[in-house]
A and B are shown apart, each in its own frame.
Chain A
Amino acid sequence: MNTSLRLSVSSLRAHKRRFAGTFLAVFLGVAFLAGTLVMGDTLRASFDSMFGNAAAGTDAVVRSADAITTPGESQGVRQPVAADLVRTVERVPGVAAAAPDIQGAGQLVAADGEPIGGQGPPTVAGNWIADPALNPYRLAQGRAPRKSGEVVVNRGTAERGGLDIGDTTVLRTPDPVEVTIVGLATFGGEDGMAQVTFTGMTRADAEKYLTARAGEAASILVRAGPGVSQDELVDRLTPALPEGVEAVTGRQSAEENNEMISGQFLGIFTLFLLVFSGVALLVATFSIHNTFAIVVAQRTRENALLRALGASRRQVTAATLVEAGVVAVTASAAGLAGGIGIAAGLQALFPAIGFPFPEGALVIGAVSLLLPLAVGVVVCLGSALLPAVRAGRTAPLAALRETAVDTSGASRTRAVAGTGLAALAVAVTLTGVLVSPSVWPAGTGAVLALVSFVVLGPVACSTAVRVLGGPLDRLRGVTGSLARRNALRSPKRTAATASALMIGVAVVALFTVFGASLKATMDQTVARSFAGDVAVSAPSYGAGGSGLSPRLADAVAELPEVDTAVGLGRGVAEVDGEGRALTVTDPVALRRTFDLGEVEGSLAALGTDGIAVTEQEADRLGVGPGDTTRLTFTDGEERTFTVRAVYGQSELAGDYVITRAAWAPHRTQDADTLVAVTFADGVDGETGKAAVQAVADDYGNPEVQTRDEYAQSSAAGIDMMLTLVYALLALAVLIALLGIANTLTLAIHERTRELGLLRAVGQTRSQLRAMVRWESVLVAAFGTAGGLALGAFLGWVLVEASDGASDSAFAFAMPPVQLAVVALVGLAAGVLAGLRPARRAARLDVLRAVATR
């Protein structure tokens, strides 16, 4: 072992350059992984302290006991409690103070007329609580609101909106409310609770604008008297509360809020990033394996000599493994440091570009410290394992032989096994897509397809390079021909090099195809089911925004240019025991602006106890027109509804429709998500849109969009996601490029004499550079072509499987332009990867290259 160690160290020292690529691949992969984990830790810790701060002075929260959560939503909807419950609570012994907390959505309009925030973090409005212990916000400047129309705004929001004390602006609740800023507040010493916007109003204003009925509050915040613990307080409060209302400790409430953000949003966010660091590490595995395989091959004579001199197999294997281990440990450690650096950099960068990233020190958990190290070492050692074993198997006689010709490419077993795997992959995938649509077999098939591509790589390589490089002979003469043959020299090596890029490109292509399909689906949905002329909406993501004023639809409907304007509100209820989103609207008008497909029964007759259901949901519930179903609302009331209509298409209209009258008794803060407008006969698009826009201006200036614009803006989020995905995948592609560059450098080292000869007999430096570059381009072209084919196939599988597995119809789309761009980027990447090796090759000393020894 001692000898092995010495051999490894001396070999590493002698060939530092060879391992630079391996080092970088491990470094980048580990840095990405560590950066992700540390960022997750830090975000989680900041949220922890943020929610802790918010509830620091609150010892108990009195709130309604039930929450209804609909699928795909992180936050349940809770019915308000009566605000005068405060008086009951205050009388409970041990209570020092209690205040109603009225909260709703309220989006401020900036000085320039644009709404502030709304792209993720909540836009909150509420009553300004006088008791400083119960109010997480502190007045920093100005005073508390005293009369109607006066508000306190957190300082960060005011700064973002260019607002200051004394300014008058509009608060969308979603009804526009004119407000004057009288105070600026801070949160835990900061300018705000991350990027959350907060507007504090008088209690009367809050009740008026943020709740459905006066005298309601989201919850009641309670402060305990001296010597009363939070648990004791809850125990004392509980008997005093009416049915359906509960008391929880302040700590628990903070934890729940925290869990909602950390558990849902952060969980998905970190998982998303982890997937991409996984892709990067997978790509790195190929590059690393390839480097070690080449190095071992190049060292055959040396290893054979060692074996001839009496080194055991184990010693030779161990020497290679130790070498890999040293690279693994140093690169992983450096990667860990790099990852922490990345997280620190992002922390500094994100707020600058308006992305919410809470301040505070970096937090590094034990897992974030150990996992990247472990993964880096395992990936590196795992990749080197096969080459190391192969090194150990070197026959002592190989020292005397010329290196054997590489025939691995065309191996029959490989061809047969690969083809079998590919066939199995297609069969499994098609079963998952066509026979019994489900994501699992489709996913298994996708993985099998990937494996079969890797196995078949060397076999396909020869043909592919011959075809792809065909035009090179004519284009670049002997330079091109040499490049092509060099790429074909060791099919296994070329295939392994290309595989790394192939995986990167495949994932890029997969997302490109999937994104385009989602967009096509969106277009198709709007085109098929939206029969109106314009749509009015207030675009927002996540918990931001406040929706549209419920009075907007009526105001628009009164325009002479408009035939029908229908607002779609959103409600929640448990239908048959499961949380469901309801569309609250005028069902008759709905039918005029949306294509609902075939309707069985009558939409006009819903009344206050009727419901319309899509065919699919009706089948699931086993109901038809005339049957009844039970709805439980957030206020705990259970009502029997009669199914009066069953309609064919849901899409934009939702699965359940009830009237505004039926929803009214159970409503919370009123808001519409969409107002769909159909123009009167003879009104042209421009005129109609201008008229609607004029009305909308008075309601907080939401966006008025034509059908096409509406479809496009619905798809805007997909473009944003794709951009992020591309940015994340750039790393994997970069690692693949390093792999190509490294393989080329090693190959050039191997071919020193040959290159020298070419130069001696008249190959110019530029011809030599071109030859190396073209080889690089060919390898990249092979990887890119394979990646595109695999990615497009997987994209199709994903779309079809989603189509089969979910209730909404998915459209499949191949975006030719984007895929062509991906192909071009792949080729350009090849040129880039070849640059440095080409330069190095051209610098070769002709004499040294042709020298006898």
Chain B
Amino acid sequence: MTTTTTGTRTAARVVDAVKVYGAGDTAVRALDGVSVTFPAARFTAVMGPSGSGKSTLLHCAAGLDTLTRGAAWIGATELGGLDDRRLTLLRRDRVGFVFQAYNLVPTLTVAENITLPLDLAGDGGDPEWIDTLIDVVGLRDRLRHRPAELSGGQRQRVAVARAFAGRPDVVFADEPTGNLDSRSGEEVLGLLGNAVRQTGRTVVMVTHDPVAAAHADEVVFLADGRLVDRMEVPTADAVLDRMKAFEVPS
């Protein structure tokens, strides 16, 4: 499979990625030789049925989990050669995350949650950028609130702002709309899309929702731990059709 990336930089990629959970009879091959490149300044969606290995791919590409075989790269850095500390620093400085369950720190205010990765690095970040971010996600009047005082959509907007706060090379989003109603989901997807198109950020999103996938520039399809297809300029209907094909026993 060739990856035609129109000559742009690569934000993240995995090469011949194999991930096996467990051992012996109970071993599960979650990834079975996947190679995929996530170009910079693009919004890529990863789709596939349950158990296709899409979340595992995201975790391994983001340095949250390690591959059994193969290599994962963030920019020019090969993740396999990093110890826990370097991996942590890499996540802190070059990767952003948005999770399905928001995952905000309940003791911190909205503002503190947004700057958390920067604070952990002990670095003030770029105040103007943070300021812009706060306006973009529309939480200026909520900065002093705690996560518990926010709605689900608001919480996920905080998580999005946090993911972009340190201007990471790439933001990984794992089912970011999974817990949201469709209106809030649209808002969050809009934010992710705008970040890519207006400010040149890179987003890789795992989703099982064709409508969400339609917000991406490109969709890659996974099934049984293998990359099976890619789709440029997706629409919800096209994605849905492609997905239905998986469910038909072939």
| Residues of chain A at the chain B interface (Cβ within 8 Å) | 405, 477-479, 481-482, 485-486, 488-489, 753-754, 756-767, 846-847, 850, 852
Q: Which B residues touch A489, using CB under 8 A?
A: 107
Q: Which A residues touch B182, using CB under 8 A?
A: none
Q: Which A residues touch B175, using CB under 8 A?
A: 852
The answer on a CB contact under 8 Å between B120 and A763 is yes
Q: Which A residues touch B106, using CB under 8 A?
A: 754
The answer on a CB contact under 8 Å between A762 and B100 is no
| Min CB–CB distance B175 → chain A (angstroms) | 7
Q: Which B residues touch A757, using CB under 8 A?
A: 99, 103-105
Apart from A478-B120, A762-B92, list 11 A-B contacts with CB within 8 A.
A482-B108, A489-B107, A758-B105, A762-B91, A762-B120, A762-B121, A763-B92, A764-B85, A765-B88, A850-B99, A850-B103
Question: 0/1 per residue, B98-128, Cβ < 8 Å to A?
Answer: 0111011111100010001101111000000
Q: Which A residues touch B121, using CB under 8 A?
A: 762
The answer on a CB contact under 8 Å between B116 and A761 is yes
Task: Kindly state the separation between the CA atoms of A762 and B163 in the bound complex, as whole angstroms.
Answer: 11
B208 in the interface (beta carbon within 8 A): no
Most central of A478, A488, A765 by chain B CB within 10 Å: A478
Task: Kindly state the separation between the CA atoms of A756 and B64 in the bound complex, as whole angstroms.
Answer: 10
* B78-102 contacts to A (CB < 8 Å): 84-85, 88-89, 91-93, 96-97, 99-101
The answer on a CB contact under 8 Å between B101 and A764 is no
Task: Kindly state the separation between the CA atoms of A485 and B121 in the bound complex, as whole angstroms.
Answer: 19
B148 in the interface (beta carbon within 8 A): yes
- B residues contacting the other copy or chain, number (CB 8 A): 32
Task: Kindly state the separation between the CA atoms of A757 and B121 in the bound complex, as whole angstroms.
Answer: 15
Q: Which residue of B lies closest to A405 (CB)?
A: B148
| Contact A482:B107 (CB < 8 A) given known A847-B65, A852-B175 | yes
Q: Which B residues touch A761, using CB under 8 A?
A: 91-92, 96-97, 116-117, 120, 162
Question: 0/1 per residue, B123-139, Cβ < 8 Å to A?
Answer: 00000000000000000
Q: Which B residues touch A850, using CB under 8 A?
A: 64, 99, 101, 103
The answer on a CB contact under 8 Å between A753 and B101 is yes
Q: Which residue of B lies closest to A760 (CB)?
A: B97
The answer on a CB contact under 8 Å between B105 and A762 is no
Q: Which A residues touch B103, using CB under 8 A?
A: 753-754, 756-757, 760, 850
Can you name 10 A-B residue pairings with CB atoms under 8 Å? A405-B148, A478-B116, A478-B120, A757-B105, A760-B97, A762-B93, A765-B84, A767-B120, A852-B99, A852-B175
Q: Which residue of A lies closest to B56 (CB)?
A: A847
B59 in the interface (beta carbon within 8 A): yes
Task: Kindly state the separation between the CA atoms of A850 and B84 in the bound complex, as whole angstroms.
Answer: 17
List 9 tightest A-B contacts by C-beta distance, closest first.
Answer: A762-B92, A478-B119, A485-B107, A757-B103, A764-B88, A761-B117, A762-B117, A762-B120, A762-B91
Q: Which A residues touch B70, using CB under 8 A?
A: none
* B157-181 contacts to A (CB < 8 Å): 162, 175, 178
The answer on a CB contact under 8 Å between B107 and A763 is no
Task: Kindly state the separation between the CA atoms of A763 and B85 in the bound complex, as whole angstroms.
Answer: 9
Task: Kindly state the separation between the CA atoms of A759 and B88 in the bound complex, as whole angstroms.
Answer: 7
Q: Which residue of B lies closest to A483 (CB)?
A: B107
Q: Which B residues touch A486, using CB under 8 A?
A: 107
Q: Which B residues touch A766, using CB under 8 A?
A: 85
Task: Kindly state the separation between the CA atoms of A757 and B84 in the bound complex, as whole angstroms.
Answer: 15
The answer on a CB contact under 8 Å between A847 and B59 is yes
The answer on a CB contact under 8 Å between A852 and B101 is yes
Task: Kindly state the separation between the CA atoms of A486 and B105 in the bound complex, as whole angstroms.
Answer: 10
Q: Which B residues touch A754, using CB under 8 A?
A: 103, 105-106
Task: Kindly state the separation between the CA atoms of A761 and B116 in the bound complex, as whole angstroms.
Answer: 8
Q: Which B residues touch A852, using CB under 8 A?
A: 99-101, 175, 178
Q: Which A residues touch B65, using CB under 8 A?
A: 847
Task: Kindly state the separation between the CA atoms of A598 and B99 in the bound complex, as whole angstroms.
Answer: 87
Task: Kindly state the separation between the CA atoms of A852 and B101 in the bound complex, as whole angstroms.
Answer: 6
Task: Kindly state the separation between the CA atoms of A852 and B96 in the bound complex, as whole angstroms.
Answer: 18
| Contact A762:B101 (CB < 8 A) given known A846-B64, A852-B175 | no
Task: Kindly state the separation between the CA atoms of A405 and B97 in the bound complex, as whole angstroms.
Answer: 27
Q: Which B residues touch A756, using CB under 8 A?
A: 103
The answer on a CB contact under 8 Å between A760 and B107 is no
Q: Which residue of B lies closest to A853 (CB)?
A: B101
The answer on a CB contact under 8 Å between A482 and B92 is no
Q: Which A residues touch B96, using CB under 8 A?
A: 761
Q: Which residue of B lies closest to A486 (CB)?
A: B107
Task: Kindly state the separation between the CA atoms of A766 and B88 in the bound complex, as whole angstroms.
Answer: 11
Task: Kindly state the separation between the CA atoms of A402 and B219 in the bound complex, as whole angstroms.
Answer: 36
Q: Which B residues touch A767, using CB under 8 A?
A: 120
Q: Which A residues touch B93, using CB under 8 A?
A: 762
| Contact A762:B107 (CB < 8 A) given known A753-B101, A852-B178 | no
The answer on a CB contact under 8 Å between B88 and A762 is yes
Q: Which A residues touch B162, using CB under 8 A?
A: 761
Task: Kindly state the separation between the CA atoms of A605 and B201 in the bound complex, as whole angstroms.
Answer: 108
Task: Kindly state the separation between the CA atoms of A852 and B98 in the bound complex, as whole angstroms.
Answer: 12
Task: Kindly state the separation between the CA atoms of A761 and B91 in the bound complex, as whole angstroms.
Answer: 6
Task: Kindly state the separation between the CA atoms of A477 and B92 in the bound complex, as whole angstroms.
Answer: 16
Task: Kindly state the separation between the CA atoms of A245 and B246 in the bound complex, as whole angstroms.
Answer: 114
Task: Kindly state the separation between the CA atoms of A765 and B97 in the bound complex, as whole angstroms.
Answer: 18
Q: Which A residues touch B91, using CB under 8 A?
A: 760-762
The answer on a CB contact under 8 Å between B101 and A765 is no
The answer on a CB contact under 8 Å between B119 and A760 is no
Most central of A405, A761, A847, A850 by chain B CB within 10 Å: A761
| Min CB–CB distance A74 → chain B (angstroms) | 60
Most central of A479, A486, A753, A760 by chain B CB within 10 Å: A760
Q: Which B residues touch A847, using CB under 8 A?
A: 59, 64-65
Q: Which residue of B lies closest to A476 (CB)?
A: B122
Task: Kindly state the separation between the CA atoms of A759 and B99 in the bound complex, as whole angstroms.
Answer: 13
Task: Kindly state the separation between the CA atoms of A489 and B107 in the bound complex, as whole angstroms.
Answer: 7
| Min CB–CB distance A189 → chain B (angstroms) | 67
Q: Which A residues touch B104, using CB under 8 A?
A: 757
Task: Kindly state the separation between the CA atoms of A847 and B175 in the bound complex, as whole angstroms.
Answer: 15
Task: Kindly state the separation between the CA atoms of A481 and B97 in the bound complex, as whole angstroms.
Answer: 22
Task: Kindly state the separation between the CA atoms of A206 and B84 in the bound complex, as whole angstroms.
Answer: 83
Q: Which A residues touch B105, using CB under 8 A?
A: 482, 754, 757-758
Q: Which B residues touch A764, using CB under 8 A?
A: 85, 88-89, 120
Q: Which residue of B lies closest to A753 (CB)?
A: B103
Task: Kindly state the separation between the CA atoms of A756 and B175 in the bound complex, as whole angstroms.
Answer: 17
Q: Which residue of A lies closest to B65 (CB)?
A: A847
Q: Which B residues touch A760, using CB under 8 A?
A: 64, 91, 97, 103
Q: Which of A488, A762, A846 contacts B89 (CB 8 A)?
A: A762
Task: Kindly state the separation between the CA atoms of A644 and B85 in the bound complex, as whole angstroms.
Answer: 88
| Min CB–CB distance B74 → chain A (angstroms) | 13
Q: Which of B64, B88, B99, B112 contacts A763 (CB 8 A)?
A: B88
| Min CB–CB distance B130 → chain A (angstroms) | 15
Task: Kindly state the separation between the CA atoms of A479 and B104 in the bound complex, as whole angstroms.
Answer: 16
| Min CB–CB distance B72 → chain A (angstroms) | 14
Q: Which A residues touch B112, using CB under 8 A?
A: 478, 481
Q: Which residue of A lies closest to B102 (CB)?
A: A757
| Min CB–CB distance A748 → chain B (angstroms) | 14
Q: Which A residues touch B92, using CB under 8 A?
A: 761-763
| Min CB–CB distance B70 → chain A (angstroms) | 18
| Min CB–CB distance A405 → chain B (angstroms) | 7
| Min CB–CB distance A409 → chain B (angstroms) | 14
Q: Which A residues touch B116, using CB under 8 A?
A: 478, 758, 761
| Min CB–CB distance B7 → chain A (angstroms) | 31
Q: Which B residues touch A477, using CB under 8 A?
A: 119, 122
Q: Which A residues touch B100, using CB under 8 A?
A: 852
Task: Kindly state the separation between the CA atoms of A485 and B107 in the bound complex, as whole angstroms.
Answer: 6
The answer on a CB contact under 8 Å between A765 and B119 is no
Task: Kindly state the separation between the CA atoms of A850 and B148 in the bound complex, as whole angstroms.
Answer: 18
Q: Which A residues touch B64, using CB under 8 A?
A: 760, 846-847, 850
Task: Kindly state the separation between the CA atoms of A330 and B148 in the bound complex, as whole angstroms.
Answer: 41
Task: Kindly state the separation between the CA atoms of A164 and B92 in the bound complex, as whole angstroms.
Answer: 79
Task: Kindly state the separation between the CA atoms of A846 and B92 in the bound complex, as whole angstroms.
Answer: 14
Task: Kindly state the separation between the CA atoms of A760 and B121 in the bound complex, as whole angstroms.
Answer: 13
Task: Kindly state the separation between the CA atoms of A118 and B175 in the bound complex, as whole angstroms.
Answer: 81
Q: Which B residues touch A405, using CB under 8 A?
A: 148
